[in-house]
Each structure stands twice: as C-alpha cells, then as structure tokens.
Amino acid sequence: MKKYLLPAVFMAANPFLLAGEPPSARKEPHRLEKHGQVRMDDYYWLKERGKPEVTEYLRAENAYADAAMKHTEKLQQELFAEMKARIKQDDSTVPFKYGDYYYYKTYRSGAEYPVYARKRGSPGGEEEVILDVNELAKGKAFCQVRFPSIRPDHKMIAYAMDTGGRRFFDVYFKDLATGATLQEKIERTAGNMEWANDNRTLFYVKQDTETLRWERVFAHVLGGGPDREVYFEPDETFEVSISKSLTDRYIFVRSEATLSTEYRLLDADAPASPPRVFQPRQPRLEYDVEDGGDAFYVRNNGGGARNFRVSVCPATSTAVSSWRDLIPPREDTMIEYISVFRDWLVLKERKDALGRFRAVNRGTGAGRYLDFDEPAYMADLGDNFEYDTGTLRLTYESLTTPDSVYDADLNTGEKKLMKRQEVLGGFSADNYKAERLWVTARDGEKVPMDIVYRKGLDLKSGKNPVYIYSYGSYGYSTDPYFSTIRLSLLDRGFICAIPHIRGGSEMGRRWYEEGRQLKKKNTFYDFIDATKYLIDGGYTSPAHVYAQGGSAGGLLMGAVANMAPRLYRGIIADVPFVDVVTTMLDPDIPLTTGEYDEWGDPNVKEYYDYILSYSPYDNVSGQAYPNMMITTGLNDSQVQYWEPAKWAAKLRAMKTDHNLLLLKTDMDTGHGGKSGRFESMKLDALEYAFMLDLEGIKK
C-alpha cells in the first residue's frame, strides 16, 4: 500500500499511526444478538463520543487523508478558485411581497453569510437590513441562521441560530424599530416557528435532546411567564412540525409518520385556545391541509389513491366523511403538493419523472398547465406569501439552465422571467447538452436517467470519465438541478449522470414503494444497472466511473461498493448511513423509531434478515474495493459520525486491494457540512481533486 508521510511529532503522539501507514483502529469485539443470531462488532467502541481514543483515531484519519491528498493541494486550490470565481459575490434574491414590504436575501462581496433585508412599498425602495448573519457568525466555526420569522405587524423578527451543527437552534427576538435584540431568548429548539396574530405569541417546536425527534409544540409570549406546552406527540414513530396558512387564519400542527398524518388547527387570532384535530390519524392515511377561507383543501391518499387526490370539505366539518373529491387520483400522475390562493388552486404534479404545475380556477374549475420545454428540469414553488393574488412565484433550473425565478400570471399562463442566476467566468448554456436516457433494469423496469456533457465530446469513445450521483430514499426525487460546481467536471470532459432510481418518487408513488422496506435492493440494482448501461453503451469504462451519494445516498454508495466494486474507479460517500441494522435496533439513537416504515423494523425477523443482507457495514468482505473517500461531521444529527468511522475501520481491515481509502471528519460541523457559502466549496474541491487525480487530470 502506498504510504503517505505524516509529521513525526504527530505520529509520535498518536498511537494509530506507524511509519506513515494508514490508521489502524484496534479491534474490541462487541457481541450483538438478535433473533438468535450473534454479530460481532469489532469497532462498536467508536460510539463513545468525546473519549480521547476516539478523538485521536478521527484525527489520525484526518491527518492521513491530508497527507494522501497533499500532492493535490495546488489542484484543490485551483478548483476552489474557479468554483468561487463563478459566483457573483454581490448578489440578491428576487424580493417577495409580504404585507407592505418586499423581503429578500442578499450577499455582500467577500462575505460568507447572507444579509436579510426588506424594502417598503416597492422592490425599488430604500433597503432596510433586518439581520446580518455575518455579524452573528463572527468567531464561530459554524453558524446557520434561517430566514427570520416576520411578526404580522412587521415590527419584529424572531430568528433561529445554530452554532454547533447539530440542528439545535436558539431563538432570538429583534425589534426592527430600534434595532435592539431583546434579552429574552428560547434555547435549543428545532428552529421551526410561527407567529400568532396577536404580535406577542410565537409558537415553536422542540426536539428530544437524545433522539432528536421533533415532539413538542410550545407557545412563547413576549414578556410573559414560562412557555406553555401546546401539544406533545406521544407516538415515537411520529414527528411534529408547524406552519401557518396562507390566509393567516391558522397555525397548522402537523404530526407525521412515514405512512400516516394528523393535523391539528390552532386559531392564529386566539393563540391561547387549544388545538383541534382536523382528521384523526389512521394507518396508511396521509393527508395535507390548505385553508381556502370558506373551505379546506385536502391532498390525500384515501380510498387507495396511491398517487393522491385533492378533496374539499367545509370549514365546519373536517372529518374524512365530509371530504368531497375535487381532483381524482391518476395512475400515471402523482400530486406532490397543493397551494391555495383566493381564486386559485395550484397543484405540483409529477409524470414521467418531470414535475409541472397545474392551476385551477376555484370559481369556474377551468385549469391550465404552466409548462417548460426542456427534456428534463427541476421546477418548484418560490416564495408566495400573498393569499389574494393572481401571480405565482416559481423557480426553475435544469442541467444546463441556471437557477431562474419566474412570476406566472395564473389568468393567462404567461411566465415572466424575474431573474436568472448569473454565472461568471464565461459560462454559456449553449456549450452544454443534456439528454434523457431510459435504462432497462434487470427486472425489466424502465429507469429514467439524465446526463449532461460539454458539446463536442465523443460520447461513445468508451473512455469518457463519468460522474454518477443519486439518492433513492424517502420518496425524495433527485431532480436534474443546475450546479456551478459541476462545471468543473464538465469542462474537463466528464459526463455527469443522475439516474432516477427506485426509492424516490420520480415515477410516482409506486416508484417509492418499489424501493423501500423489503424492496430496498431495487434502489441499489437500479444504480448499478444505470452504470452498466453507460459502460455497455460505450460512454465509458469501469476505469473511468466515479460515483457519489450522501446520507441515505451514502447507504447507496456502501451497498454498491459491496455489490459491484469492479464497476467503479472511485466512490465518494458523504455522511453515509451504513450501519443500518445496529442503528435501527437502537431506539436511543436519533431518528430511529420514525424510520421503521422506510427501512422496516429489524425487531421483526423478516425485516432484520433483509436489512442485514444489504447493510453496508455488515457486508464488508475480503474483496477489492474502489478508491474511496468517506466524509462525516462530528456533530452530525442525522447520521452519527461513528457509522462512517466504523465502516472505514472495517474496510481497512478487510479489503484486499491497494486502492486509496480516506476518512475525512469535520470536527466542527454536522450533517450539512460547512455553513459559509465559500467555505463549503472547499470540500467540493477536495472531492473533485480526488476524482481528477485518479483520472490523471492534474489541472
């Protein structure tokens, strides 16, 4: 194995490093028994967060990774510089109207963090800064501040700040008239909050400090006594969240499991009143509610509507027995969500792995589609805060079209481009081409895959480097998004591919159901078969294929590495969920019990056996693996750091190849990595340098 020399002083102080060899974690067998089966976990001890030996091991892996990549430092710097140079540093979002103000986010030249601001009366008015996150972030290794919650009278904001990366947010109150931040604050919340209409009461969500489950809703009254608990969600498989209706009449308290939903309504004008249940939860009944003034609109899967229907019910009678069908379900089209305005119902639909919007007039029932003409794209609702409007804010992008903001006239269907992301450095969309391909999977299923490349590339040379990325879990669709970062690969001759594998919802709810629980392996098979399609089609060869995925997509990477290692030259697994069986058997680990409907409950032997058959950590074997880079964050709240750490240690001990294996732990951050807009690019530059170096591309 190639050796990477480390500083002698560091090696002497760290027992994991010997003569520049990769770190070797000690084995301490830990017995895990379930269903009469015994598993021995040699690296279970790495779960002891804060123990000096654990910290030393992680730092040793970091030092080894730094040494192994040291010869690419110049390339990393060049990549970071070109990635940064494409970003317009002094830039703002399109203002959205809320009340008498237009709110927006802006970045100053050279600044890492946003400035939140507004203008009164019109988008051309005088700027008023309401919060400068750069000031809050001074001296902090990590700082995340979401867009503030605006009080209904627009005289105060509440903002939530996380400085540890573990998604615990402290809430602060700022008086916009005086610019003063109040002394009172709310500590360790989920960051999910909404104002009542009395301009005194803020509803917010708190999570369990150990499991991190969002479980309680509280009411904080400015200048009042102790915060009042409004609702506690007792079912550990459910999480609770809150939102405010576009009509401003209700605070919605939403309890959600993977396959069941329950809403409660809080009167925003009477915040002390108790919440009332909209429709009691039922197994496998999922629904979402929007207020339409004199009626509620309900997106739901009742009556076997796998791809969802839209129902309507009177405000005075909200039980499912009162729901009347408005838009029936369709087998080929999924209704992803709805939004209700005074005169319009807007649906986000998905068909053939493409999302589109349908606007329906609430009075006449007449409707129209707001279509886009590229073969593959990503479209979503933008910032819409006005109930009484005929204009819909949309966002749009594709593999070749930068992030764009449109205002659509719902009466005519005409779309007006408000802004398109400016990409510096001579970018022209005309230099790139995107295509949609259809892959026949091993079971005959047709899997859509989007690819993008620079024009002039010999597509069928058999030697093109390929970067292939996907996710494939929780029903999340991996839409073909635009990336300024990705240009660094495209301009160096890469083909970039996004296969829309099962486990997402690109092809409707069936697509998700075919990639979860006892059908989870379809997710991995689809990704592997998409890779084979590119190889067999002459686009590339295994010596030039690089795969990447994060979180549950990191699970995908781990499974693929075990199942088809010879198809890939390199694999990058970011914050990977790889110790599936052990994690899902531990209810004290964050986000476990609520995941049973996604992966299956391993306390049931059928699910245990199936999960065990693909769990990446449990299936590491004595075989050759691709070159691998694994990343994690010490404060990760979603996938605990020890999963990738254990996986790396086991791979080192068992793999038979001499390929590179790197574990990089950010000791200051969590699941999302660095918080600054430029600092976060340094990890991208490192990962791209990892691939380019393997490909023999030095600049």
Active site members: 551, 636, 671
Pair type for strands 378-381 and 367-370:
unpaired
Helix (H, G, I), strand (E, B) or coil at 565: helix
Q: Tell me which H or E stretch contains 214.
A: strand 214-221
Residue 246 near residue 235 (C-beta atoms within 8 A): no
What's 502's DSSP letter? B
Tokens 């240690």 -> residue: 649
**Sign of the dihedral defined by the CA atoms of residues 250, 253, 259, 260, in that order:** negative
What residues are paired with 415 via a beta bridge?
A: 408
**CB count in 10 Å sphere of residue 309:** 22
Residue 368 near residue 358 (C-beta atoms within 8 A): yes
Type of residue numbered 38? V
Distance CA 452, CA 458 (A): 13
Distance CA 505, CA 18 (A): 48
Q: Residue 436: how many CA atoms within 13 Å on its side-chain side?
A: 14
* Cα of 240 vs its chain's centroid, Å: 18
Distance CA 298, CA 44 (A): 46
Distance CA 484, CA 17 (A): 38
Q: Tell me which H or E stretch contains 54.
A: helix 52-68
What residues are paired with 407 via a beta bridge?
A: 393, 416
Residue 58 near residue 43 (C-beta atoms within 8 A): no
Return the closest-CA partner of residue 397 out of 380, 418, 415: 380
Distance CA 42, CA 65 (A): 23
Residue 390 near residue 343 (C-beta atoms within 8 A): yes
- Residue 690 tokens read as 């990892």
Residue 62 near residue 686 (C-beta atoms within 8 A): no
- Residue 464 tokens read as 């093109």
**CB count in 10 Å sphere of residue 472:** 30
What residues are paired with 476 via a beta bridge?
A: none
- Residue 94 tokens read as 């399109």
